[in-house]
Amino acid sequence: MATVVVVTSGKGGVGKTTSTAALGAALAQSGQNVVVVDFDVGLRNLDLVMGAERRVVFDLINVVQGDAKLPQALIRDKRIDTLSLLPASQTRDKDALTAEGVTRVIGELREKFDWVICDSPAGIERGATLAMRHADTAVVVTNPEVSSVRDSDRIIGMLDSKTVKAEKGERIEKHLLLTRYDSARAARGEMLKTEDVLEILSIPLLGIIPESEQVLRASNLGTPVTIGNPNSAAAKAYFDAARRLRGETLVVKVPADPRSFMGRLFGRRAVA
């Protein structure tokens, strides 16, 4: 039985695509059959973050419109063979994505994979609602910052009203993935703390991804951080988040990369 996950946030630039790639890869690395689906029609980027931008032939719109069969559009990852990508199209016509077409494609993906991870576009428009439409589980990506928390709250409201599960009166599982977190700044009172965000949004915590230079490095290279640098703090956090998605109960830690001498001095002063 496949699980459809939507990675969503409302606000742009908080790490949806990065997190889709890293979580998808982490699940695939643990032997699960995973497809990551880019719903950002017109502004596709998941292909780039996954390092598959030169292998895109057909895309989600082609499959939705019946111009290509699903297996033709799926791109198998070269590093992890249980990981696939269904890219978005670059067409500017967002109406090409129809509700019926998406229903059919998600149905077909459910038969082929254990996990269908949908990377939502930013905003609360059609693309975002279609991406969340069939989700069993939502990963709400949030930065510890006021506008991101506010937008996440909006998205949580939409998950509870506009998804198929919600309309059937069932509960959609929602998880908070806190990204770009800086524990030192939070301890100094300069950044919202995890507890603050959890209290405000009141959904369970899937993980805390520390602000890390390894995340940018991963997208520069087109290699999800869990594949490219599995020992980094960010990768460890994503591995833990993936295990929680699978239902494991783990204590949430904020992994930290080893700091430089100056960084350590600074960090100690800050926490004290």
Nearer to other proteins, 150 or 217 (CB): 150
| Nearest distance from C-beta of residue 10 to other proteins, angstroms | 12
As measured in angstroms, the least distance from the Cβ of 272 to other proteins is 13
Min dist. Cβ of residue 192 to other proteins (A): 5
H or E stretch covering 38? strand 34-38
The DSSP code sequence of 168-223 is TTPPPEEEEEEEEE-HHHHHTTSS--HHHHHHHH---EEEEEE--HHHHHHHHHT-
What b/e readout covers 60-81, taking b as 16+ CB neighbours within 10 angstroms?
Answer: bbbbbeeebebeebbbebeebe
Pairing relationship of beta strands 83-86 and 75-76 according to DSSP bridges: antiparallel
Q: Give the number of other Cβ atoms within 10 Å of residue 272's Cβ.
A: 6
Phi, psi for residue 179 in degrees, rounded to 5: -115, 165
Nearer to other proteins, 200 or 221 (CB): 200
Q: How far is the CB of 268 from other proteins (least distance, A)?
A: 15
In the complex with other proteins, the residue whose CB is nearer, 65 or 202, is: 202
Q: How far is the CB of 197 from other proteins (least distance, A)?
A: 9
For other proteins, the binding residues (CB under 8 A) are 145-146, 149-150, 153-154, 157, 161, 186, 188-193, 196, 200
User: Given the complex with other proteins, which of 189 and 258 has the nearer CB atom?
Assistant: 189
Which token pair is 212? 């890390």
Which residues on neighbouring strands pair with residue 35, listed in sequence order? Answer: 84, 116
Q: With respect to other proteins, which residue has the nearer C-beta, 165 or 236?
A: 165
Greatest CA separation found in the chain?
Answer: 61
Quick check: 4 and 202 in contact, CB under 8 A? no
Nearer to other proteins, 149 or 203 (CB): 149
Q: Least Å distance between CB 66 and other proteins?
A: 36
